[in-house]
Structure 1
Amino acid sequence: MGAASVASTLLLSLFSSSSPFVSSASASFLPSSSSSRVAVPAGKQKATVSVLRALRAEAATLPVLSFSGEKIGEVDLDLKSAPPSTARAVVHRALITDRQNKRRGTASTLTRGEVRGGGRKPYQQKKTGKARRGSTRTPLRPGGGVIFGPKPRDWSIKINRKEKRLAISTALASAAVADDAFVVEEFAEEFATGPRTRDFVAALQRWGLDPKQKAMFFATEFADNVRLSGRNIGSIKMLTPRTLNLYDILDARKLFFTPSAIDYLNSRYGATVFDEYEDDTDGEDDGEEEAEEVQEEEGTAEEAAQDESEDTEAGNNS
């Protein structure tokens, strides 16, 4: 299935009331005539500027659940989100980019010039009562080439890093506002003796989730036994900061976070630090810049040494 069809099917589900992205509780993400447009007299229709053009924060308080399913506290999730007039467009663009960039683009068909055989004219041009044929590999006959078939191509498209981060934070904030996000305390100790999928399913039920419903677990890291306990459940996605993606966020019915994951989200997608963009290369660019500076300093030193030697030779000749 192509990326466009998959994304279109997923985006159609965003308009349903059961979606965490667009629901009655997250109506603040939907453009409304009262919030984005100003009434003007008839005959003076002008382009109005949205009052919510700037980015704004969507703070939500999430309940913290214990492994037994009891509420033991609350935690704040304060993320930057897109304004209501552009939220859908930002999320749609990021989703299409993610799905399309995953296409390998290796599909290939043979044209009539590439199909083996067909070099001899099958029968004479005239006096047969049939249509004239120059080759048996014509696209009009079985075994022939393909007209305008797919060829290897690059499907990747570009999206700004800040725009992609804004789409992820907008989707997370929408789910939090819609009461579809929960925080679960660290439960690695419960599986210290070994992985048990049965206990993991029982915990999901205590947390109010049907194991058949799609859910996403996000943590900074998963213990081996926890990961092995949840990998056999096909409806569960267990993500880390390295694998966090927009598609799994939108595709999940409920989102579960660990306390450390909440701290990570607030520090990376929070309203106060969103503009302080940190590069994803973990200092690789800084290392390259330092190497370039060292090369420039070495080059400057070499030039200075050459100039001194030239001056010395000129003084000796004189």
Structure 2
Amino acid sequence: MPAAAVASPLLLSLSSSSSSFLSSSSNSFLPPSSSTPASAHIAGRRKPAASILRALRAEAATLPVLSFTGDKVGEVVLDLKSAPPSTARAVVHRAIITDRQNARRGTASTLTRGEVRGGGRKPYQQKKTGKARRGSQRTPLRPGGGVVFGPKPRDWSIKINRKEKRLAISTALVSAAVAEDAFVVEEFDEAFAGGPKTRDFVAALQRWGLDPKQKAMFFSTDFADNVRLSGRNIGSLKMLTPRTLNLYDILDARKLFFTPAAVDYLNSRYGTTVFDEYEDDIDGEDDDEEEVADQEEGTTEEAA
């Protein structure tokens, strides 16, 4: 199935959310271009990247913390970087298309008429038969013949910047948190200390306000063996760790819930301090390029 066919319903369902991040219909994730004077020609390469990063903003959402019995015991803050509303839809769309297309194996292969076995002898003479002339039994016009313009093994992978992919994941998480489709549950490893029990896990989902028939994503830094065995038989539940966290499962789930340790991991991985060092580096590069431009201008004036 083509990647665009899978991603389109996901993005349509995401855009129907009450979040304001993915409500824009813009198809470009770059800021509007402005006229650049000739004197700043050298420093013009780095400035768009810096402006994109400065447009990023931190979006904090308060998530309720539920106990294993379903009672609210507190609140935590999910403070992540998110793309501005004008570019959020394009960033998430590009990331999901990249993930789905890179998952294609590209092993489909067909045989042309030169690769099909047989067909070396002319089936019958050219004339005097009343039939159409035919030079081989393996022509694409006959069953068992070759395939015209059929698929061949190829590499479908496309590239996406690491920071752009990370921004798409954090934007999707913020969108779900702002839309009140996410919450936090306390650690409940002790509840399954006696052994795995899928029935108890389903009952816990119902106490947390989740429908076992609707898709949900449970994100934790680590799962105990009994917890993992209890939840793996629930077909609508995705249990992810930092190693398996991906954008497709985030968008495909109706509800997201995390452990407190997972929230701390998300804040440290996709939080407000992630892009600060990169912004400082770009600012420094811009300053250096501006100094080079000023020196070249001074040299030109002296020559004049």
TM value normalised by structure 1:
0.77
Q: 2:6 maps to what in 1?
A: 6
Distance in 2 separating the partners of 1:141 and 1:3: 33
| Contact 2:124-2:134 within 8 A present in 1 as well | yes
- Deviation, 1:133, is 0.8
Task: Report if aligned partners of 1:64, 1:71 keep a CA contact under 8 Å in 2.
Answer: yes
Residues 12 and 131 (structure 1), Cα distance of their counterparts in 2 relative to 1, 3 Å cut: farther
Q: Which residue identity is paired with 1:200?
A: F
Write the mapping of 1:128-139 to structure 2, written as runs, cut at 5 A.
128-139=129-140
1:111 matched to 2:104? The reply is no
User: Per-residue CA shift, 1:229-270, capped at 9, x if unaligned?
Assistant: 000000000000000000000000000000000000000100
Q: Select which of 17, 20, 24 maps to 1:31.
A: 24
Cα distance in 1 between the residues matched to 2:4 and 2:133: 41
User: d(CA) in 1 for partners of 2:256 and 2:10?
Assistant: 17
What SS does the aligned partner of 2:175 have? helix
- Which whole-Å deviations, capped at 9, do the CAs of 1:184-219 have from their partners, x for residues lacking one? 000011001100000000000000000000000000
Change (3 A) 1:13 1:134: farther
CA contact (8 A) 2:176 2:182 kept: yes
Q: How does 1:87-106 map to 2 (within 5 A)?
A: 87-106=88-107
Max radius of gyration: which structure? Answer: 1
Bigger mean CA deviation after superposition, 266-275 or 199-208: 266-275
Distance 1:195 1:165 in 2: 34
The CA distance in 2 between the partners of 1:181 and 1:164, in whole Å, is: 21
Q: What is the TM-score normalised by the length of structure 2?
A: 0.80
**SS of the counterpart of 1:171?**
helix
- What's 2:70 paired with? 69
Task: Report SS of the residue matched to 1:11.
Answer: helix
Q: Which has the higher contact order (CA 8 A, sep 6+)?
A: 2
CA contact (8 A) 2:24 2:89 kept: no
Q: Aligned equivalents of 2:249 and 2:134: distance in 1?
A: 53
Secondary structure in structure 2 of the residue aligned to 1:27: coil
Question: Closer, same or farther in 2 for the Cα pair 1:109/1:28, shift >3 Å?
Answer: closer
The answer (yes or no) to whether the contact 2:60–2:77 under 8 Å persists in 1 is yes
Instruction: Flag structure 2 segments of 5+ consecutive residues without an equivalent.
Output: 27-31, 36-50, 279-304
* RMSD of equivalent CA atoms: 2.1
Instruction: Write out per-residue CA displacement over residues 21-68 of structure 1, whole angstroms, 9 at most, x where no aligned residue.
Output: xx12x12442389xxxxxxxxxxxx9789x997111111000000000
Cα distance between partner residues in 1 of 2:121 and 2:89 = 58
Comparing 66-75 and 124-133, the one that deviates more: 124-133
* SS of aligned partner of 1:86: helix
Q: For the Cα contact (< 8 Å) 1:268–1:274, is it kept in 2?
A: no
Name the SS for the 2:222 alignment partner: coil
- The residue type equivalent to 2:179 in the other structure is A
Structure 2 counterpart of 1:31, which letter? S
Given the alignment of the two structures, is residue 258 of structure 1 paired with residue 251 of structure 2, yes or no? no
The answer to whether residue 184 in structure 2 is matched with residue 183 in structure 1 is yes
Paired position in structure 2 for 1:160 = 161
Report the secondary structure of 2:55's partner residue: coil
- Give matches, 1:113-262, under 5 Å: 113-262=114-263
The CA distance in 2 between the partners of 1:89 and 1:28, in whole Å, is 11
Alpha-carbon deviation of 1:90? 0.6
Q: Percent identity?
A: 86
**Which residue is 1:40 aligned to?**
none
Could you tell me which runs of 5 or more consecutive residues in structure 1 were left unpaired when the two chains were aligned: 18-22, 34-45, 278-318
**Partner amino acid for 2:2?**
G
